[in-house]
Structure 1
C-alpha cells in the first residue's frame, strides 16, 4: 500500500488532492455519458413490447419521456464535460508546470558536486521526457480508469437485476484477463529501463556532438562521431521495438480472453434461452452491455507499455527529488528581532544571518578548511584571510586548489571540515540567496544565454534601468561594439554566446558583474587566453569592477597581479607562501620559480627545424 501511495504521489506531482478531485469529476462524467446506453436499452425494451404482446399499443408516452431524459442528459453532460475537459487540459498542464518549476528550484539548491557527477543529457531527459511521460499517463489514465470503474459498477448493478448468471458470464472474463496484464507489465519493466538508458545516452550524445562540432570538424572527426551518435539512435530504436514485442504477445492473449468473454455471454444466453430460463430481450441486453464493458478494459491493456515506461520515469523523478540540497537556515525577518529582545529570548543560532550588505566588513576567512572531490582531498586544513576592500591573488600550479577556494567561498559546496566566514558570519548560517547577493563572479569560461545582450547584462540587476545597463557596458568597455551590432542591445546572442568573440563575451560578463555591484568579487582567470588588445580592455574593465571591493583573483599570468595587496601561493591543496610580490621574489621559493618560468616563456618564439 505504501508503494502505491508513493507511486501515486509521484505521478500526480505531489498534488494528490487535486487529482482525486479530478477523478471524482471524471466519475461523474463517465456516469452521465453512460446514461444513453441505459436509455437505449429501455427504448429497445419498449419497442419490443408490441412484438411480445400482439395488439398492444406502442408506449409512446414512455418513449417521449426517454427522449426528455436524453435531452436533459445532453445539457448536463455539456457542463460536466466542459468542467472535466478544462480541468484535464489546464489542470494537468498547470500541475506539470508547477512541478517543473519546483524541480528547477530544487536543482538550484543542490551543491555543484551533484552536477559534476550527473550528465547534462540525463538531467534534460528527466526534465523534458520523463515529466511529459508522467503527465501523459496521468491525464489519460485517470479518465480511462474512471470510465472502466463506472461502467463496471453500472453493469453489475443493472445486469444483476436482470439475471445474476448472465452477469457472471459477462464479468468472469475480466479477472481471467488481468493476470496477463500483470505479466505483460513485468516483462516490460526490464526493457523499459534499457530504453530509458538508451534515450539518455542519445540525448547526451546529441548535446556532446552539437557542443563539440567545431572541434570535431577541426580534426575531421564529425563523420566518425556521428556514426557513434547514429549507433545510439539505433539502440534506442531496438529497445523501443523490443518493448512493444515484449508486451504484444501477452497483451494479445489478454485481449483474446476478453474477446472470449463475448462468446461466453452468447453461449450462456443460448443455453439459458434453450432451457426457457431467459427472455430473448434479456439476452439482447447482455450482448449489448458486454461490448460496452469490454471495450474500455481492452483500451486499458493498451496502456500497459506506457505504464511500464512511465513507472520508470516516475522513479527517476523521485530519485532526483530525493537528492539532498545544501542545508539552508531559516530566514530571519527584521520583525523578529524586537519581539525576541522584548521577550528576553536568546537568538536562534540556526536562524539565517547576514553580514553588512554595504561591504564595510566583507572580509572572508577560511579556518582549517578541508575539502574533497569524492575520495580525493584537494584542500588540507587551509587557513586564510581575505581582508575587506583588498585584492588577494591565488597562484600556483594547476590542481593546487585555487578554483576550489573561490567555489567554497560562494558555497557551491560545503567544506568537509573547518569553517568559512563572510563578515564574521559562517556561510552555513546564511541563505544561498543572501550569500550570493554579496558576490559577483567572473570566470574564464563565460556562459551567455540565448537571449538579448540587454537580458544577459540585466541578470546582474533584474530591475535595472536601460541607462544603468548602458553605463555598466561603457565601464566594461563593451558599449562600442554592442552599438554597431545590427540590433544593438537587442541583438540575440547564440547559446553560450557563440556569436560573439571570447573578449566580447568576457566584457559582457564584467558588465553584468558591474551592474550587480556586489561587495565581493571573485575573478577566475578572467584575462586568460585573450589577445593583447582585449586583455587591455578587460583589465581596464576589471579595474573599475574591483574598486573598493573585497577581491579574490586567480591568475596564471603573474604580471597581472603584481600590485595585489597579498599573494597566496598554493601547492597540492596547502599554502606554501604568502606575501607581496617583491617579498615573495626575495623568498626565492615556488612563486619566484613560477615568475622565472613565465619570464622565460615570454621570450619563446616558433622556430622551424630544418
Structure 2
C-alpha cells in the first residue's frame, strides 16, 4: 500500500500542493465528524441523568450544529481541491506524455508496447482523474475517524476496545491479501479496458469500409473480441475479489454484532453504565462502517495504480538525444554519410551516401518499399539512423535540438492530418503568429482560397477531426498552405500532389514551385513534370542507390529510371479511342 501511495504522490507532480491541502481539509472534516459524536455522548449523558445537565445538553446541540456546518464547509473546499488536483494531475500527465512522444523514435509507435497509447491517454487516465483524490480522502478520513472512535471505545471500556482492535487487524489482513490479488489482476483489466477503447474507435473509423464491403456484423471481430475480453477480465476481477469482500464484510458485521451484545450484557452485569452502553451501541455501527469504506478505497487504488504504471512505461522509453544549445549554420546543404536503418530486424536503408546541395531539389524514385519515404523521414529525425550520419550545413542532426531541426523543415505528406478546428487555425499551425492576411495569401498560393470562401463560414469553418469534411485534394492543398506559411528553408514533399484534382493541379504546381523557390527540397513523386525538373534524381531499390543523376543523363541509361519513365509516359498519354 505504501508503494501505491508513493506512486500516486509522485504522479501528482505539480498538484501535490492541492492534493495535500485537500487531505488536510479532510482531516479537519473528520475532526468535525468526531466532534459531533462527542456531542452525542454528552446529550446521552444528560438524558440518562434526567436532564440534570441541561445546559451541557444544549451546548452539545450547538456543537452538533457547528459540526454539521463545519463538515459542509470543509467538504466544499476539500472537493474543490481534490477536483482540481485530480483533473490537473492527469492533464499534466497527458501533456508530458505527448511531449515525450515527440522525442522518441516513431518506430516505437509501431511497437506492440505502444499500440494502446490512445487508450492510456483516454480510458486509463480518466479513471485516475475521477477517482484518485476522492479515494485518498475517503481512505484517510475513514481510517482517521475509525481510529478516533476506537480510542473513544477504549475509554468507555477496554474490553470493547480490544474487540474493535482485533476485528480491525483481521480486516486489514484480509484487505492486504486482496491488495496482492489486485496487483495480479488489475494490470490485465487495465489492458483490456484500453484495448476495448482502441478497438471501438477503430471500428467506428472503419465503418465506411465495413459497409462498402457488406461486412456489417462480420467486420467487427476485433471489437467483439475486445468486448468479450473486457467482460472476461472484469468478471475475473469480481470473482477474485468477491470472497475477500464477503469475508471482510462478514468480519465487520460479526464484530458489530458482538459489540452490541457485549454493550447490553455489560450493562446488565453492571460493569458498564447506561451512557457508555448506549454510546457503544451507536459506535458499533459507526466504527466499522468507516473502516469498511476506507478498506474499499484501498482496493480501488491498486486498479488506479496499474494505469499509472502504463504512463510510467511510456515515460521510461528512451528519447532521441540531442545537444539543445547547438544551432544549425546558415547553410542548408544535406549530406548522408554511409547511412543504414532498419525497422526491427528488417533493413530498409543499406549504407546510403549522397549530397543535396543547398537550394537544390532532389527527387527520390523507386518501387514500393525501396526506402524513399524512410529517407525523407530520417532527415526530419522521425527515427535515428542505425549507423552513419546525416548532416545539415555540416552539422550532425543528432547534435541539435529537435525543435531547432523542425523549425527548419516543412513537410507535406501524402496522408494529410487536419485538426478538428477552423481552417484558419489549421493553416496557422505552420506559423501560429501569422496574421489573417498571411493565411489568405498562403491559401491563395496553395489554390485553396476559392473553395474555402465557398464554405459557410469561410476561414472560420470548423472541419471535422482529420479533415473528415473535406475531400482528399482539399486537405492536401490546406497542408501545402500550412507549409507555405511556415516558410522553412528545407521542404519535404511526399507525393504532395497525389490527391489533387486535375483542374487545380496546374495551379497547385505553380504554388509548389513558389514554395520550392530558394529552398532545399526533397521530394517523392511519380509525375513526370515534377521529376524532370529536379536538379538531382536518386533511384532506390531495396534500400540502396542504384542510379543517381539528372533526368537527361538517367533517361539514356538502361535501368529502373528509364523503365519507370516509359511506363509513366505511356500511362499519361493513355486515351479512350
TM-score bracket, shorter-length normalisation = over 0.9
Q: Given the alignment of the two structures, is residue 354 of structure 1 paired with residue 348 of structure 2, yes or no?
A: no
Gaps of 5+ in 2: none
Mapped contact 2:19–2:82 kept (Cα < 8 A): no
Tell me how far 1:18 sits from its aligned partner: 4.6
1:290-369 equivalences in 2 (<5 Å) = 290-303=284-297, 306-330=300-324, 351-356=325-330, 361-369=331-339
- CA distance in 2 between counterparts of 1:531 and 1:465 reads 29
Query: Counterpart of 1:393 in 2: which secondary structure?
Result: strand
CA distance in 2, matches of 1:557, 1:298: 72
1:573/1:132 CA distance change after superposition, 3 Å:
same
Residue among 312, 337, 347 paired with 1:377: 347
8 Å Cα contact 2:335-2:356 kept in structure 1? yes
The alpha-carbon distance between structure 1 residues 148 and 78, as it changes in their structure 2 partners (threshold 3 A), is closer
> Hey, what does 2:34 align to over in structure 1?
34
Residue 463 of structure 1 corresponds to 433
**Partners of 2:572 and 2:236 in 1: CA distance:** 61
Deviations 1:566-609 (A, max 9, x none): 111112112222111111122323322222333344455789xx
- Farther off after superposition, 391-400 or 216-225: 216-225
Other-structure match for 1:507: 477
| Deviations 1:514-542, CA, capped at 9 Å, x for gaps | 11111110001112254432332321221
Question: Partner of 1:433: helix, strand, or coil?
Answer: helix
Alpha-carbon offset, residue 140 of structure 1 = 1.9
| Alignment partners' CA distance in 1, 2:31 and 2:365 | 74
The separation in 1 between residues aligned to 2:187 and 2:76, in whole angstroms, is 38
Sort the Cα spacing of 1:89 and 1:16 in 2 relative to 1 into closer, same or farther, 3 A.
closer
Instruction: Name the CA distance, whole Å, in 1 between partners of 2:389 and 2:199.
Output: 40
Of 477, 499, 502, which residue of structure 2 is paired with 1:532? 502
SS in 2 for 1:587: coil
Correspondence for 1:541: 511
The match for 2:154 is 160
Structure 1: 5+ residue stretches without partners: 51-56, 331-350
| Structure 1 pair 281–149 and aligned structure 2 pair: CA distance change class (3 A) | same
Distance 1:170 1:550 in 2: 79
The answer to whether the 8 A contact 1:569-1:576 is kept is: yes
Contact kept? 1:507, 1:541, Cα under 8 Å: no
Aligned to 2:454: 484
Report the Cα distance in structure 1 between the residues aligned to 2:33 and 2:269, rounded to whole angstroms. 36
Cα distance in 1 between the residues matched to 2:576 and 2:115 = 41
Q: Distance in 2 between matches of 1:97 and 1:87?
A: 15
Q: 2:262 aligns with which of 253, 257, 268?
A: 268
CA distance in 2, matches of 1:597, 1:71: 90
Is 1:560 the equivalent of 2:534?
Answer: no
Task: Report Cα offsets for 1:2-53 as digits up to 9, x if no partner.
Answer: 8446533455357545533432222122112221111111111122123xxx
Q: Is the CA contact (8 Å cut-off) linking 1:362 and 1:520 kept in structure 2?
A: yes
Q: Which residue number in structure 1 is paired with residue 416 of structure 2? A: 446
Q: CA RMSD in A?
A: 2.5
Q: More deviation in 501-510 or 10-19?
A: 10-19
Q: CA deviation at 1:443?
A: 0.8
| Cα displacement (A) at 1:294 | 0.7
The answer to which of 456-465 and 23-32 deviates more is 23-32
- Scaled by the length of structure 1, the TM-score of the pair is 0.88
Partner of 2:403: 433
Distance in 2 between the 1:91 and 1:186 partners?
27
1:166-219: per-residue Cα shift (whole Å, max 9, x none)?
Answer: 111223211112333233344444444443333233222223222222222222
Q: Indicate the residue corresponding to 1:124 in structure 2.
A: 118
Instruction: Specify the alignment match of 1:254 in structure 2.
Output: 248
Secondary structure of 1:225's match? coil
Question: After superposition, what is the alpha-carbon deviation per residue over 1:59-94, rounded to whole angstroms, capped at 9, x for unaligned?
Answer: 123223334434554565455334322212223222
Number of aligned pairs?
577
Moved more, 452-461 or 121-130: 121-130
Q: SS at 1:518's partner residue?
A: coil
Displacement after TM superposition at 1:255 (Å): 0.4
- Which residue number corresponds to residue 561 of structure 2? 591
- CA-to-partner distance for each residue in 1:414-473, whole Å, 9 max, x for gaps? 111222112222211211111111111111111111222111111111111111111111
Tell me the TM-score normalized by structure 2.
0.93
1:232-286 Cα deviation digits (max 9, x unpaired): 3243234333422332232011101100111221333344345432223222222
More divergent stretch after superposition (402-411 vs 162-171): 162-171
Residues 256 and 284 in structure 2, CA contact (< 8 A), matched pair in contact too: yes
Greater shift after overlay, 536-545 or 148-157?
A: 148-157
- The match for 2:213 is 219
Distance 1:426 1:472 in 2: 32
Q: Do the aligned partners of residues 471 and 530 (structure 1) sit closer, same or farther apart at CA in structure 2, a change above 3 Å counting? A: closer
Distance across 1 between alignment mates of 2:28 and 2:254: 30
On the 8 A contact 1:362/1:389 being kept in 2, the answer is yes
Using the TM superposition, give the Cα deviation of residue 319 of structure 1 relative to its aligned residue in structure 2, in angstroms. 1.2
1:529-557 Cα distance to aligned partner (Å, 9 max, x none): 54432332321221111111110111123
2:418/2:467 contact within 8 Å kept:
yes
Residues of 2 paired with 1:587 and 1:465: CA distance?
50
Q: Distance in 2 between matches of 1:147 and 1:3?
A: 20
Offset from partner CA, 1:129-186 (integer Å, 9 cap, x none): 1112122331222211222232133123322222211111223211112333233344
Structure-1 separation of matches of 2:310 and 2:114: 14
Measure the CA separation in 1 of the matches of 2:67 and 2:302: 37
